[in-house]
């Protein structure tokens, strides 16, 4: 192997797939005698709902379809259908996420993405969790919209690589009653129901999964309510959501290719691990549209979440408790300028307050590792702090339409302030003040406050060549402040972390056809990346670059519909540095856990008016498992089969077979602490469902 060249170079022919698909799509366009334009409406890319053909962004809207639900056991099932998106499942409901990025891990991983529920972030700024999407009821959602690329001009902090928006059903959609039962492999059972009268609705789900690995059972409950009523010449919508997760967590299995071993893949080296999480949210949004180009909107949300989990991946296995209570308010207005035809302005503001806390407690002395490692990890409290968050964002923009052209310019200014209160001794002693040899591992900074300001512009140009085709150019910027844990959960002899916001600049050129799909080229540069250096200090200074091509394509052929999507992308380091764990980053090499190829092909067959059969193939290409690109994981190919039969207007039967060929693969693979680690994927599994509705 040539050490000067990144070793991921095979399967280059797969890059021709988008070209072939584009050619087939153009052939399909020429063959159409009468085109039926699909006016798909999206709500995430901007404040006012808009048809997709008028949005200059790469956005995919997922809806339940023939199966009547978006996912069965995990949100990865739905999101991995989107080009440029990869959700790596852990054991249970845990996951790591990539959206036009490598799969990000660590304290700041969640800060690169905004996760919304009905227009509001699930968590406050600075206190996100990479697993927080399990708090939202994705399986019963009306839609999930995914915007790829930065969106800080609209949503402020954390909209760096992408935005994920879970949209709940309207009260009208819940009218009547419905119930479903799904049972399947490894003791899986899911019971869901909904009831509504057209103005108010209640829906929820209870799910239990014994897991295919030892001691990996998951039980979760999600409840949602909605009420809608006319108010003040507009519409007022209330929403409430609550969730409870009780999970026995299975840890990594270790050793090269351990995921292929029939015994190891079902084992659990950490049967003591668990995660318990609760959340509750109450939101209200009032909106009024006095004209086609008008919008008045006021909204607010109250949120609470708490979590307990055993950090089984750390020596000493300390317990973490974290919680947040927060409030967010928003206002928006959009109006045409009567004196200038085609000109529209918009303005908005958001405010957020949060009270957050974190405690890390080790009940017993450390018994694993070397004597030196044990000596710096004493029992007792390691961290115990509260942090208040206050954020204010103001945005504005203009849009002008002239013939087939549409231009938009917008910007947002944000100010975010943290107030940190350490509830223990400052420094890196044990809880009682006893010093460790050379200092204890966990370091607590003194009380402080930090402020982060940001200006995020965005420019768009869109040309509508026909009612069906759109060409657009988008320039945007995303940012995130440091996460609270990156600033105040320090290690070794670091007494303070002087961090700044991460920033990403992006340019995107896209083409979209209303019936057949889209094509997008993008280039992104990120700077001030936060990392842990070779001394274990949290520092800034990292830089990365991301370039790629994404495609979506759909072609009906009689009773068949073929669909394909995917991405070819390079995610590379743009700096060189030694980092924690003895790894070395070299500029120009691929970032770890960033496959260049990810592709999906789906064939749907409408057997008759009542029955559909769908087969889904997903390809994840090879990728580096370490920063130096010396350890390569081969990737995988997986097939899934789904069928739905509408037995009567009220009854539907569904069958799903995951991993149809029983492929031995890993949901996640990485190389750390000198060894391979894997989360093995479930083998072939069948699930049978029955759905009933009153109307």
Residue with tokens 């307990």: 308
Mean pLDDT of 155-164: 94
8 A C-beta contact, residue 423 and residue 357: no
pLDDT at 48: 67
Q: 296-305, pLDDT tens digit by residue?
A: 999 999 999 9
pLDDT at 159 over 60: yes
Residues facing residue 573 across a β-bridge: 544
Give CA–CA dist 44/436, Å, rounded: 51
Output the average pLDDT for the chain: 92
pLDDT at 8: 41
Residues facing residue 158 across a β-bridge: none
Dig out the tokens for 101 from the structure.
């990025």
pLDDT at 520 over 60: yes
Give CA–CA dist 121/137, Å, rounded: 14
Q: Please report, rounded to a whole number, the percentage of residues in the chain having pLDDT higher than 70.
A: 94
Which of the four CATH numbers 2.40.170.20, 3.10.580.10, 1.10.10.10, 3.30.9.10 does domain 12-693 have?
Answer: 2.40.170.20
Q: 410-424, pLDDT tens digit by residue?
A: 999 999 999 999 999
Mean pLDDT of 466-470: 93
Give CA–CA dist 543/541, Å, rounded: 7
8 A C-beta contact, residue 425 and residue 477: no
**Range of lowest pLDDT (4-8, 49-53, 128-132, 386-390):** 4-8
Dig out the tokens for 328 from the structure.
């967010």
In 10 A of CB 214, how many CB atoms? 14
**Range of lowest pLDDT (5-14, 146-155, 673-682):** 5-14
Q: Please report, rounded to a whole number, the percentage of residues in the chain having pLDDT higher than 90.
A: 85
pLDDT at 19 over 80: no
pLDDT band at 40 (very low <50, low <70, confident <90, very high): confident
pLDDT at 39: 61
Mean pLDDT of 241-264: 96
Give the list of residues 6+ apart from residue 558 with CB closer than 8 angstroms, or none: none
Q: Which among 358, 600, 580, 619 has a CA at the least distance from the CA of 489?
A: 358
Q: Which among 69, 189, 219, 243 has a CA at the least distance from the CA of 141?
A: 69
pLDDT at 36: 38
Q: 345-379, pLDDT tens digit by residue?
A: 999 999 999 999 999 999 999 999 999 999 999 99
Dig out the tokens for 136 from the structure.
């939202």
Dig out the tokens for 203 from the structure.
């829906």
| In the chain, where the domains are located | 12-693
pLDDT at 53: 86
- pTM check: above 0.75: yes
Dig out the tokens for 255 from the structure.
């050793």
């Amino acid at each position: 192997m040539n050490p000067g060249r990144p070793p991921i170079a095979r399967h280059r022919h797969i890059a021709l797939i988008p070209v072939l698909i584009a050619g087939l799509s153009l052939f399909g366009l020429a063959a159409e005698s009468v085109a039926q334009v699909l006016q798909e409406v999206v709500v995430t890319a901007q404040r006012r709902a808009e048809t997709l053909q008028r949005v200059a962004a790469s956005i995919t809207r997922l809806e339940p379809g023939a199966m009547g639900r978006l996912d069965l056991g995990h949100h990865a099932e739905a999101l991995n259908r989107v080009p440029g998106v990869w959700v790596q499942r852990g054991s249970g409901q845990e996951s790591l996420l990539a959206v036009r990025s490598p799969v990000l891990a660590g304290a700041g991983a969640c800060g690169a993405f905004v996760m919304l529920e009905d227009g509001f972030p699930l968590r406050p700024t600075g206190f996100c969790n990479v697993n927080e999407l399990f708090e939202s009821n994705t399986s019963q959602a009306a839609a999930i919209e995914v915007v790829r690329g930065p969106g800080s001009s609209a949503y402020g902090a954390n909209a760096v690589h992408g935005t994920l928006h879970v949209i709940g059903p309207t009260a009208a959609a819940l009218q009547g009653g419905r119930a479903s039962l799904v049972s399947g492999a490894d003791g899986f059972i899911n019971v869901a129901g909904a009831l509504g009268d057209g103005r108010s609705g209640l829906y929820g789900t209870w799910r239990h999964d014994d897991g295919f690995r030892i001691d990996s059972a998951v039980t979760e409950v999600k409840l949602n309510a909605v009420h809608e009523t006319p108010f003040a010449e507009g519409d007022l919508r209330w929403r409430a959501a609550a969730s409870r997760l009780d999970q026995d967590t299975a840890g990594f299995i270790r050793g090269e290719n351990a995921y292929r071993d029939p015994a190891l893949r079902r084992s659990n080296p950490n049967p003591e691990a668990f995660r318990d999480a609760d959340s509750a949210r109450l939101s209200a949004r009032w909106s009024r549209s006095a004209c086609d180009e008008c919008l008045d909107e006021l909204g607010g949300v109250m949120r609470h979440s708490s979590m307990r989990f055993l950090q089984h991946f750390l020596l000493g296995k300390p317990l973490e408790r974290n919680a947040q209570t927060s409030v967010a308010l928003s206002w928006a207005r959009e109006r045409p300028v009567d004196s200038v035809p085609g000109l529209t302005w918009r303005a908005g503001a958001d405010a957020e307050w949060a009270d957050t806390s974190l405690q890390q407690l080790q009940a017993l002395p450390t018994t694993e590792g070397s004597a030196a490692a044990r000596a710096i990890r004493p029992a007792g409290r390691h961290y115990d702090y509260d942090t208040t968050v206050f954020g204010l964002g103001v945005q504005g923009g203009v849009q002008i339409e002239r013939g087939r052209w549409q231009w938009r310019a917008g910007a947002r200014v944000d100010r975010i302030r943290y107030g940190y209160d350490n509830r223990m001794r400052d420094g890196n002693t044990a809880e009682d003040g006893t010093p460790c040899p050379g200092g204890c591992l966990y370091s607590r900074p003194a009380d402080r406050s930090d402020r982060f300001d940001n200006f995020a512009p965005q420019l768009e140009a869109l040309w509508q060549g026909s009612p069906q085709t759109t060409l657009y150019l988008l320039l945007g910027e995303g940012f995130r402040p440091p996460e609270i844990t990156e600033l105040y959960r320090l290690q070794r002899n670091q007494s303070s972390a002087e961090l700044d916001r991460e920033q990403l600049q992006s340019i995107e050129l896209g083409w979209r056809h209303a019936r057949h799909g889209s094509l997008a080229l993008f280039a992104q540069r990120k700077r001030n990346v936060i990392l842990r250096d070779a001394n274990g200090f949290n520092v800034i200074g990292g830089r990365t670059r991301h370039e790629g091509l994404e495609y979506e394509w759909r072609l009906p052929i009689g009773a068949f519909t073929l669909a394909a999507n995917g991405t070819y992308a390079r995610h590379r380091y743009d700096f060189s540095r030694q980092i924690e764990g003895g790894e070395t980053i070299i500029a120009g090499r691929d970032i770890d856990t960033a496959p260049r190829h990810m592709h999906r092909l789906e064939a749907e067959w409408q057997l008759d008016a009542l029955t559909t059969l769908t087969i889904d193939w997903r390809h994840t290409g090879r990728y580096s498992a370490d920063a130096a690109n010396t350890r390569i994981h081969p990737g995988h190919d997986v097939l899934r089969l789904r069928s739905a039969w509408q037995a009567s207007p009220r009854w539907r039967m569904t069958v799903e077979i995951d991993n149809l060929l029983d492929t031995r693969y890993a949901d996640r693979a990485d190389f750390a602490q000198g060894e391979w680690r894997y989360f093995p994927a479930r083998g072939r599994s069948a699930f049978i469902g029955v759905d009933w509705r009153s109307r």
